[in-house]
């Protein structure tokens, strides 16, 4: 009889120790998950602030490039007014295409919405490539007219 009582007591202590140990483990896991979640929120806020600053800088620089293109086209059009009709006719289509492309770039920039970091990186790369091509086309056209 004493051995049964002793056996049940030992089993009770072991079960209690396991129960308390599991409870502490669950609390530790919950605490670790909470800390990880807080770190992610902090990183996300820092990343969003960095993204916002990067976007504002990018937008300002792009708007300046668009304005430079507009100015170059306007100057080129003034030069063409002074030249003969043959030269003017030859460049009118190219000027119209460049003006339209420049307007589209401005529209694209103004219509961009924040859709996440990956989308932002893709947009930034694609937009910069298109702006570079447009800038080169404007430069090539105005350089041709100076000859």
Summarize pLDDT for 29-70 with one digit per residue, the tens.
666 667 665 666 565 666 666 777 888 888 899 899 889 988
Q: Band of the pLDDT at 89, cuts 50, 70, 90?
A: confident
d(CA 38, CA 52): 21
Q: What is the pLDDT, as a whole number, of residue 24?
A: 57
pTM score: 0.61
What are the structural domain ranges in the chain? 2-146
Give me the residue label for tokens 């030269």: 87
């Amino acid at each position: 009889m004493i051995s049964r009582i002793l056996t049940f007591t030992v089993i009770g202590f072991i079960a209690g120790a396991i129960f308390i140990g599991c409870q502490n483990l669950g609390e530790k896991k919950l605490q670790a998950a909470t800390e990880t979640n807080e770190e992610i929120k902090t990183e996300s806020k820092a990343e969003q602030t960095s993204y916002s600053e990067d976007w504002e800088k990018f937008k300002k620089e792009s708007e300046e490039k668009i304005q430079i293109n507009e100015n170059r086209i306007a100057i080129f059009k003034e030069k063409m007014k002074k030249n003969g009709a043959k030269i003017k006719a030859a460049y009118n289509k190219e000027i119209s295409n460049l003006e339209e492309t420049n307007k589209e770039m401005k529209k694209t920039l103004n219509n961009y919405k924040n859709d996440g970091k990956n989308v932002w990186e893709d947009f930034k790369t694609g937009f910069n490539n298109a702006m570079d091509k447009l800038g080169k086309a404007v430069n090539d056209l105005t350089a041709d007219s100076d000859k």
